[in-house]
Structure 1
Amino acid sequence: MTALDAHLLVQRGDFDLDLRLTIAPGEVVALLGPNGAGKTTALRALAGLTPLAAGHVTLGGRDLDRPDRRLWTPPERRPIGVVFQDYLLFPHLSTLDNVAFGPRRHGMPRREARAHAADWLARVGLAAYARRRPRHLSGGQAQRVALARALAVDPTLLLLDEPLAALDARTRLDTRAELHRHLTGHPGATLLVTHDPLDALVLADRLVIVEHGRSVQEGDAATITARPRTDYVARLVGLNLYRGKADGHTVALSDGFELSVAERADGDVFVAFSPSAVALYPDRPDGSPRNTWPATVTGVQRHGDNLRVQLTGPIGAAADVTPLAAAALRLEAGLEVWAAVKAAETRAYPAQ
């Protein structure tokens, strides 16, 4: 069963969005992509805030948008709840009346709407804040009020636009866990728009990666992280990624450089390996590594407990090394080193 079935065709100046989305009841789908990829445009099109040039939006079997039939449903008549990045709470209303606003617009009597809102405030742990105005709430509290307001209308589709982006790191951690709990209990479909891979991996059942207005990869977290298909996705999951033509255990890249891989493959393939699989040496290493090349350090940044080293050379790559190893190599921009990756540390998979 599908709650949302949409084909979003939007034209805005020199940018056009062509994106198909399906979401099942109870499913959380994360829409990930770089700035300008079309994520917010997609959300606004689903909410009825940006018109479709063509395509359709069908929710719970009901057509909301069909430009070819001149069918369009105003935002306030869509069974959709939205949590915007900046929450957009009404500053002149109390927390209780902010949450009651949606049910009132849907025809619920005032007393009943306020009781319904009070119940939702209790669910998000803010029953004691019912009379407060938004300016007296912390960022995490405002986010929970915005979520309660969106869920109070029992939406068939919940749209979340970067819902944690405005929070500091500690508040974000706590609020992410709270949000996960509420999304797990939401019977409708949820679309989470984010650029943060951690939010997507923690909150979503399925990921849709969008670049330049098009879906470039879709699947669960394990599939996406194991087999990235674009440079953006590879950076997102922290892998080095290359495309080439395989012949057995050798993959020839477009610039002529060859990589040895563990799996036998033929035809167009991607080759991926972790930065932690890249070893650095002051001189050309002897012994087991079958992939070695001269490289130049272009940058060194802290990455967790290690340092991430950016390299140029026959191929660009990232390597993770310990602070001790970095000190021994005296790593700094401009230093020439040798990089090595064992074939057993690589993964090769079809590019089609």
Structure 2
Amino acid sequence: MDQQPMTAHTAARGEPDAGTPTLDAHLVVDRAGFRLDVALHIGAGEVVALLGPNGAGKTTALRTLAGLIPLSAGHLTLAGQDLDRPETRHWTPTERRPIGVVFQDYLLFPHLNALDNVAFGPRRHGLDRRHARQVAGEWLDRMNLTGQSRHKPRHLSGGQAQRVALARALAVNPALLLLDEPLAALDARTRLDTRAELQRHLAAHPGATLLVTHDPLDALVLADRLVIIEDGQIVQEGSAATITAQPRTDYVARLVGLNLHRGQADGHSVRLGADFSLTTADRHDGEVFVAFPPSAVALYPHRPDGSPRNVWPTTITGIQRHGDNLRIQLAGPIDVAADITPAAAAHLHLAPGQPLWASVKATETRVYPAPISGRQR
């Protein structure tokens, strides 16, 4: 099959030097009282997940990379080519960027069938109708959607529409693939199957991939590296193992399911407030984080016998189902979450406002140094 126009397009965008990331960006955007200031570097074949709470700047970052928002400062270099560099007034419009985007709602063209939706990108990049449809047909075959090629979006299931959108983004051989909450619109069962399918396709994609998501499971399963942003700045980045082992903000701790507190360590004791300390198994001195899972917090209707070292009075502020257990939100000298079984909850007759005693074993805590400067909890 003759794909010379696509090959010419790919070559024209250039390739980064050996060792240079496919995406090299310092995104600085000033908008109505909000400033995004984030450095992103993604290598060829690497999948990076961008996570953060609502309003953190994830969407602004994605729209800036796509060319929908110009940089205020910084730079955006992709595959060795500057796409946006304000200091030299260089800016490449959206349609000329070697970028594929899968939006949360897919945004398939309703008047086109699946084949022509996928063929749209190759047509825009120089292929004639026949060759563009050949490329689209091959991508639909890879997505196991050959039988749906003539179906319009309204006749596709959510999972099928997601795969058509992914095929459309990949059909232009993008240097950078942007995924904006790609699984958010799917039901739980379809999400499970589609996540596995997406993982397979991302593993085969030779370019860089940025996944923007709220879902920690999507990030942990699909990404090689996580970048966490809050208030327009990076607060933590690294492998999933690194971040889950040592979260550094409340948001990251909730993301990975840990209680997190910052305090002053003196040997095996960490002071978390004026009148409250935790005994820990690890010995440290100075500013530290103390982390422990909700499953490590034990609850009692009365002060437990034997007076374990880490015990304190607390009050229930909320009760939610969490998988097969209940997650109990507790206020006291420190605010924590505890996971207990429904049977234990029934035995304790739990209700919001109820006073309890909480404890955590020293051996269940994890202590690690907190940065002296930077974002404080």
Is it true that 1:118 corresponds to 2:137 in the alignment? yes
When normalised by structure 2's length, the TM-score is 0.92
Counterpart of 1:270 (choices 272, 285, 289) is: 289
- The CA distance in 1 between the partners of 2:275 and 2:197, in whole Å, is 50
Counterpart of 2:335 (choices 306, 313, 316) is: 316
Q: How does 1:18-57 map to 2 (within 5 A)?
A: 18-57=37-76
How many angstroms does 1:255 deviate by?
4.1
CA RMSD across the alignment: 1.0
Is it true that 1:198 corresponds to 2:217 in the alignment? yes
How many angstroms does 1:196 deviate by?
0.5
Alignment match, 1:77: 96
When normalised by structure 1's length, the TM-score is 0.98
Moved over 6 A (4+): none
Do the aligned partners of 1:297 and 1:311 also contact (CA within 8 Å) in 2? yes
Q: How does 1:159-174 map to 2 (within 5 A)?
A: 159-174=178-193
Alignment match, 1:149: 168
Alignment match, 1:289: 308
Q: Secondary structure at the match of 2:363?
A: helix
How many angstroms does 1:58 deviate by?
0.6
Alignment match, 1:248: 267
How many angstroms does 1:254 deviate by?
3.7
Counterpart of 2:123 (choices 96, 100, 104) is: 104
How many angstroms does 1:216 deviate by?
0.4
How many angstroms does 1:40 deviate by?
0.8
Alignment match, 2:108: 89
Q: Deviations over 1:277-307 (max 9, x none)?
A: 1111111113373111000111222211211
How many angstroms does 1:176 deviate by?
0.6
Do the aligned partners of 1:288 and 1:342 also contact (CA within 8 Å) in 2? no
Q: Deviations over 1:201-242 (max 9, x none)?
A: 110000000111111000111111111100001111111100
Is it true that 1:305 corresponds to 2:312 in the alignment? no
Cα pair distance change 1:288/1:262, threshold 3 Å: farther
Letter in 2 for 1:56: H
Q: How does 1:176-191 map to 2 (within 5 A)?
A: 176-191=195-210
How many angstroms does 1:134 deviate by?
1.1
Q: Deviations over 1:38-92 (max 9, x none)?
A: 0011001001011100011111111111000000001111111000111111111
Is it true that 1:66 corresponds to 2:85 in the alignment? yes
- The CA distance in 2 between the partners of 1:322 and 1:170, in whole Å, is 25
Q: Deviations over 1:292-329 (max 9, x none)?
A: 10001112222112111111111111111112211111
- The CA distance in 2 between the partners of 1:127 and 1:305, in whole Å, is 39
Is it true that 1:5 corresponds to 2:24 in the alignment? yes
282-291 or 151-160, which deviates more: 282-291
Do the aligned partners of 2:273 and 2:333 also contact (CA within 8 Å) in 1? no
88-97 or 118-127, which deviates more: 88-97
- The CA distance in 1 between the partners of 2:46 and 2:174, in whole Å, is 13
Letter in 2 for 1:106: H
Do the aligned partners of 2:27 and 2:38 also contact (CA within 8 Å) in 1? yes
165-174 or 252-261, which deviates more: 252-261
Alignment match, 1:226: 245
Letter in 2 for 1:177: A
Structure 2 segments unaligned to the other structure (5+ residues): 1-18, 372-377
Alignment match, 2:14: none
How many angstroms does 1:14 deviate by?
1.1
Q: Secondary structure at the match of 1:96?
A: helix
Do the aligned partners of 2:102 and 2:178 also contact (CA within 8 Å) in 1? yes
- The CA distance in 2 between the partners of 1:288 and 1:208, in whole Å, is 42
Alignment match, 1:334: 353
- The CA distance in 1 between the partners of 2:343 and 2:111, in whole Å, is 57
- The CA distance in 2 between the partners of 1:289 and 1:146, in whole Å, is 56
44-53 or 131-140, which deviates more: 131-140
Letter in 2 for 1:15: F
Overall identity of the aligned pairs, in %:
75
Aligned length: 352
Do the aligned partners of 1:300 and 1:310 also contact (CA within 8 Å) in 2? yes
- The CA distance in 1 between the partners of 2:26 and 2:273, in whole Å, is 35
Letter in 2 for 1:103: P
Structure 1 segments unaligned to the other structure (5+ residues): none
Letter in 2 for 1:32: L
